[in-house]
């Protein structure tokens, strides 16, 4: 069966002054698959992720959603189905968990707001904390609130920029479990990371960036296989 390409970027270049951060990168995100985008610090992973999230403008190239270039009305349509999570939590410290979710639900124009908020709060075990100020939460709890905020609009495309950074092992395991579960609920996910740990087991595809270029793309077989491939490009001890 032919896999459907949901999001695609073609020949993306990004310049910061004279410095070129991305050098003609092509990338395809297949529907209902988890793609890991890997590479060392400064490889251009986060830049590419921000371009895909429309947070940064590409210098050259184009981004397609369902085979159509993202511009005009499609820009808003794409943003409505997009979820973006990073190591930053994107939550207001001085608002309660409920107020945070309520605010973003309003911005996304979610119609059944009350039910949706209750649903995500219950899914992430936040119900008992709903009236507490988010700034007082532990890192793990903040990450759960952040995930709840990200999934509030029921995004079909999820871009996760270093989501595992700074999480303790149990929070890391929980997040990997959540992502795994999301895949079964027909989500297209891009995970940006530079670490090869147990979380890579959930990947369907992986892409390696090096100095702004895509140097490798393949289906995920095993962690050892990925490690060996990764070390071929960046050096290190083969397994």
C-beta closer to another protein: residue 19 or 57? 57
| Site string (146-185) toward another protein, x via CB under 8 A | ---x------------------------------------
Extract the runs of DSSP E, i.e. beta strands, from the chain: 5-16, 19-30, 34-38, 60-65, 68-69, 82-86, 157-161, 188-193, 205-210, 213-219
Residues 60, 45: Cα–Cα separation, whole Å: 16
C-beta closer to another protein: residue 102 or 205? 102
For residue 74, give the H/E element and its range: helix 73-80
C-beta closer to another protein: residue 59 or 180? 59
Residues 91, 112: Cα–Cα separation, whole Å: 21
| Site string (62-101) toward another protein, x via CB under 8 A | --------------x--xx-x-x-x-xxxxxxxx---x--
- Contact yes or no for 156/186 (Cβ under 8 A): yes
Q: Contacting another protein (CB under 8 A), which of 34, 48, 49, 53?
A: 53
Candidates 4, 46, 50, 48; CA nearest to 25 is 48
**Residue 55 touching another protein (CB under 8 A):** yes
Binding to another protein, residues 179-238 (CB under 8 A): none
Residues engaged in binding another protein (CB under 8 A): 53-57, 76, 79-80, 82, 84, 86, 88-95, 99, 103-104, 106-109, 133, 142, 149
């Amino acid at each position: 069966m032919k896999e459907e390409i949901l999001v695609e970027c073609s020949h993306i270049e990004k310049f910061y002054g004279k410095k070129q951060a991305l050098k003609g990168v092509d990338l395809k995100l297949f529907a209902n698959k988890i793609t890991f985008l890997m590479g060392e610090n400064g490889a251009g992973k986060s830049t590419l992720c921000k371009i895909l999230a429309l947070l940064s403008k590409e210098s050259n190239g184009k981004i397609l959603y369902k085979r159509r270039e993202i511009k005009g009305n499609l820009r808003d349509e794409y943003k409505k189905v997009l979820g973006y999570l990073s190591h930053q939590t994107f939550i207001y410290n001085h608002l309660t968990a409920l107020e945070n979710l309520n605010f973003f639900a309003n911005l996304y124009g979610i119609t059944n707001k009350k039910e949706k908020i209750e649903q995500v709060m219950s899914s992430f075990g936040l119900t008992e904390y709903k009236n507490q100020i988010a700034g007082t939460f532990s890192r793990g709890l903040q990450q759960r609130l952040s995930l709840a905020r990200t999934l509030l609009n029921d995004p079909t495309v999820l871009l996760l920029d270093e989501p595992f950074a700074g999480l303790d092992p149990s929070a890391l395991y929980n997040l990997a479990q959540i992502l795994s579960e999301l895949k079964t609920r027909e989500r297209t996910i891009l995970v940006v990371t530079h670490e090869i740990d147990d979380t890579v087991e959930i990947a369907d595809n992986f892409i390696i960036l090096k100095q702004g270029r895509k140097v490798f793309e393949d289906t995920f077989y095993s962690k050892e296989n990925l490690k060996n491939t990764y070390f071929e490009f960046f050096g290190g001890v083969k397994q």
